[in-house]
């Protein structure tokens, strides 16, 4: 087996395995938006409150699932930053792990539907514990074949220390889940508290750490002070994997509506014959709003992807906090098709339609503002995280800012316009949908014109300098 290991044919670069895992995890992260999207919202005042309660529950389940699956994904990144080469055995173990991750959303929605039944907790904790065992087996296996490991660890003298540290970090979550599952027999609210701690601790600790470092200045991390949930000191997130995961989410979200349309909106030939006198055009006209919703949501998701793509072209290193903001942005992107679908489900000029349009604006706004905040956070440590030409005062700085600010500004503008001119809300919204792609096409021109005007107004003497 030593001979095989060094031959390079049975050990492989883990690149494609990770890309496939990212694709699987991104699909699973967004899956719980489907039950939300397929909730029938009636234009009936009596049923409205119960439907709204149901919808709120489902949205909460979606957001929580998104966070939990993203957490599992972050753990997966950390594991495969230590193990950089794989062989067949690791590939198969990883597939088993993926299977369990894809089952998490279901166990989680069981918990949400039957909060007082311990079955959901048990299934969820069971999945997490088995995943912990599989990950430990992966780590033990990889450390028994050191050529699979990260160079840093491969040349290190205290491999055994690293191995024990990583195993300790990995087993932390399953052990907490073990206690949560035991408490579910005794006093189940305690289990939920434990699960909430597991889920939010890394986020809270990250936010606190970032706030503290901003408040009292950068604290130098000593190699010993390995933070909670980390294997290697000072490891950044893998930029490739953040991109691959985001691409997966954008792709599945962009196509969510066409999946529905392809399945449900082909009329039945007998219905066309009877109700529309054989006229297919008349029958399809009824679906018109659905097509509009599809094109609108595809364009919006596509353009948000475009902004994300432009942003990450300029990013050289993704910190954990940037990854967290990216997750929030993606979670809102996941809600977009649903919001667009709602805008066309209600009668023209009803209160519901106005609300649906405003919700869409709010979702677009948040998706965009979190993208913008990734950039703002990156600017705080621009020398480490960004290419020089987008640094503050750099050649592309203003243009990148304009690109990132376009969607939040337009969404905010549309929101306030629909508040004032509520009668024309639909027209305003459609106009926005059509204008935005063209705005992106001519954005570079617009920014130049804008800068020239600003320069002409504020410092006419220096107007011969070029900054864009």
Residues 194-253 close enough to bind its own copies by CB under 8 A: 243-244, 247-248, 250-252
Q: Is 51 exposed, middle or buried (0-12, 13-18, 19+ CB in 10 A)?
A: middle
Q: Of 284 and 379, which has the nearer Cβ to its own copies?
A: 284
263 binds its own copies, rule: CB under 8 A:
yes
The Cα 147–Cα 317 span in angstroms is 26
The DSSP result for 246-257, as a single string, is HHHHHHHHHHHH
Contacts of its own copies in 52-91 (CB under 8 A): 88-89, 91
The DSSP result for 145-207, as a single string, is SGGGB-HHHHS-S-HHHHHHHHHHHHHHHHHHHHHHHHHHHH-HHHHHHHHHHHHHHHHHHHH
405 binds its own copies, rule: CB under 8 A:
no
Size of the site for its own copies (CB under 8 A): 79
The Cα 101–Cα 326 span in angstroms is 20
Q: Measure CA of the first residue to CA of the last residue in the chain; give whole Å.
A: 59
The Cα 97–Cα 196 span in angstroms is 22
Shortest CB 285 distance to its own copies, Å: 11
Applying CB under 8 A, among 47, 53, 60, 119 the residue interacting with its own copies is: 119
The Cα 425–Cα 348 span in angstroms is 10
Contacts of its own copies in 158-177 (CB under 8 A): none
The Cα 175–Cα 170 span in angstroms is 9
Q: Of 282 and 420, which has the nearer Cβ to its own copies?
A: 282
Q: Of 30 and 425, which has the nearer Cβ to its own copies?
A: 30
Applying CB under 8 A, among 41, 51, 59, 106 the residue interacting with its own copies is: 106
The Cα 221–Cα 292 span in angstroms is 52
Applying CB under 8 A, among 47, 175, 280, 421 the residue interacting with its own copies is: 280
Alpha-helix runs per DSSP H in 8-83: 15-30, 33-37, 45-82
Helix 320-343 vs helix 188-216: crossing angle, to nearest 10: 120
Q: Of 98 and 339, which has the nearer Cβ to its own copies?
A: 98
Contacts of its own copies in 9-28 (CB under 8 A): 9-10, 12, 16-17, 19-20, 23-24, 27-28
Shortest CB 19 distance to its own copies, Å: 6
31 binds its own copies, rule: CB under 8 A:
yes
Q: Of 131 and 169, which has the nearer Cβ to its own copies?
A: 131
Applying CB under 8 A, among 155, 197, 262, 434 the residue interacting with its own copies is: 262
Contacts of its own copies in 355-394 (CB under 8 A): 387, 389-390
Give kind and range of the element (H or E) at residue 320. Answer: helix 320-343
302 binds its own copies, rule: CB under 8 A:
yes
Contacts of its own copies in 408-467 (CB under 8 A): 437, 440-441, 443-444
Applying CB under 8 A, among 56, 117, 154, 350 the residue interacting with its own copies is: 117
190 binds its own copies, rule: CB under 8 A:
no
Shortest CB 16 distance to its own copies, Å: 6
Q: Of 126 and 267, which has the nearer Cβ to its own copies?
A: 267
Shortest CB 56 distance to its own copies, Å: 16
296 binds its own copies, rule: CB under 8 A:
no
152 CB neighbour count, 10 Å cutoff: 14
Query: Cβ distance 24 to 250 under 8 Å?
Result: no
Letters for 311-340 (x = contact with its own copies by CB under 8 A, - = none) are: -xxx--------------------------
For residue 363, which of 406, 298, 405, 412 has the smallest C-alpha distance?
412
């Amino acid at each position: 087996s030593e001979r095989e290991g060094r031959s390079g044919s049975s050990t492989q670069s883990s690149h494609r395995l990770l890309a496939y895992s990212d694709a699987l995890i991104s699909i699973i992260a967004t899956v719980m938006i489907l039950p939300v999207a397929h909730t029938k919202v009636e234009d009936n005042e009596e049923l409205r409150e119960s439907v709204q309660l149901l919808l709120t529950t489902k949205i909460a389940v979606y957001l929580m699932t998104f966070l939990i699956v993203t957490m599992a994904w972050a753990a997966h990144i950390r594991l495969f930053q230590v193990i950089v080469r794989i062989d067949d055995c690791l590939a198969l173990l990883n597939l088993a792990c993926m299977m369990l991750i894809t089952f998490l959303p279901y166990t989680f929605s069981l918990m949400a539907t039957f909060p007082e039944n311990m079955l959901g907790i048990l299934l969820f904790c069971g999945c997490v514990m088995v995943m912990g065992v599989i990950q430990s087996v992966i780590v033990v296996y990889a450390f028994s074949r050191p050529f699979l490991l990260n160079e840093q660890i491969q040349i290190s003298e205290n491999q055994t220390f690293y191995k024990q540290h990583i195993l300790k970090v990995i087993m932390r979550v399953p052990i907490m889940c073990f206690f949560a599952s035991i408490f579910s027999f005794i006093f189940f609210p305690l289990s939920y508290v434990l699960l909430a701690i597991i889920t939010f601790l890394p986020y809270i600790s990250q936010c606190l750490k970032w706030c503290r470092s901003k408040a009292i200045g950068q604290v130098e991390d000593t190699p010993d002070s390995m933070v909670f949930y980390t294997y290697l000191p000072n490891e950044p997130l893998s930029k490739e994997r953040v991109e691959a995961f985001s691409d997966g989410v954008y792709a599945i979200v962009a196509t969510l509506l066409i999946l529905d349309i392809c399945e449900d909106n082909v009329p039945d030939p007998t219905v066309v014959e009877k109700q529309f006198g054989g006229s297919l055009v008349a029958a399809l006209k009824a679906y018109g709003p659905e097509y509009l919703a599809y094109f609108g949501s595809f364009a919006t998701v596509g353009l948000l992807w475009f902004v994300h793509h432009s942003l990450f072209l300029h990013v050289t290193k993704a910190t954990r906090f940037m990854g967290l903001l990216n997750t929030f942005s993606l979670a809102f992107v996941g809600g977009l098709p649903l919001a667009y679908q709602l805008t066309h489900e209600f009668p023209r000029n009803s209160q519901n339609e106005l609300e649906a349009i405003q919700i869409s604006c709010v979702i677009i706004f948040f998706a965009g503002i979190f993208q913008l905040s990734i950039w703002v956070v990156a600017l705080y440590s621009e020398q480490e995280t960004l290419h020089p030409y987008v640094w503050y005062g750099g050649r592309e700085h203003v243009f990148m800012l304009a690109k990132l600010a376009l969607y939040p500004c337009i969404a905010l503008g549309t929101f306030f316009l629909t508040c004032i001119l509520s009668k024309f809300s639909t027209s305003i919204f459609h106009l926005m949908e059509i204008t935005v792609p063209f705005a992106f096409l001519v954005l570079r021109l617009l920014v130049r014109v804008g800068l020239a005007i600003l320069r002409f107004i504020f410092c006419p003497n220096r107007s011969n300098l070029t900054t864009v």
